[in-house]
Amino acid sequence: MTSTSEQLNTETTSEQLPATASEITAATTPELSAAERKKAKSRAANRAAVELLCETYPQTFAFAKPRPLKIGIQEELVADGKLSQTKIKRGLASYVRAFGYLKSQTDGAPRINLLGEPDGTVTAEEAAHAATKLPAPRKPNKPRPTAKKRPAQAHTKPKRSASPKTGKSAAKVEKAPSPFDGLNEGQRMASKLDLLLKKHN
């Protein structure tokens, strides 16, 4: 019959442990479905396209304070030729669907062109359309019903009186030496297991 410590050592060495952090991460995180990966990749590409627009045309595009864009600005961007048509379409589509941009669409608000100059205004119909695209305001959370309060004395613990501070330091209790000191984790676990088995046999 083999001892418990020998069994534990053979089990530990026979297991295949991940060698790298990426293998550990892959082993612990659930796999994303193909649709979720595609959606995440698309979101990242949209975000990158909007950032590219903001870097290339800072006078027109801004995340912090978006302003209504001139009708037909896409043609101006394509004619300018600084960005590919794909990046322009992707970036514009994401930019104009953003919450801040939709909020900027108010009746009579000035639209801006590629140079950041006023070029037209937002009509009442356009403002109403933008308002329909905004997410509905969230309803406030319902307050939780209050629990019945118990009598104050029923379940309270007696308070400890604080000892007055004196110049004397409290005596420190020394910890008794453990029979497992000096053993590594596997040896300590095996010793504890042996003691437990002896106790119950």
Q: What is the pLDDT of residues 86-142, one digit of tens each?
A: 999 999 999 999 999 999 999 999 999 999 999 999 999 999 999 888 887 777 776
* Weakest mean pLDDT among 11-15, 57-61, 126-130, 160-164: 11-15
How far is the C-alpha of 100 from the C-alpha of 111, rounded, in Å? 15
How far is the C-alpha of 48 from the C-alpha of 44, rounded, in Å? 6
Beta bridge partners of 3: none
What are the structural domains of the chain?
Answer: 38-133 (1.10.1710.10)
CB contact at 8 A, 132 and 95: no
- DSSP run (H or E) holding 87: helix 85-96
Instruction: Quickly state the pLDDT bin for 8 (edges 50, 70, 90).
Output: very low
How far is the C-alpha of 86 from the C-alpha of 77, rounded, in Å? 11
Beta bridge partners of 112: 69, 118
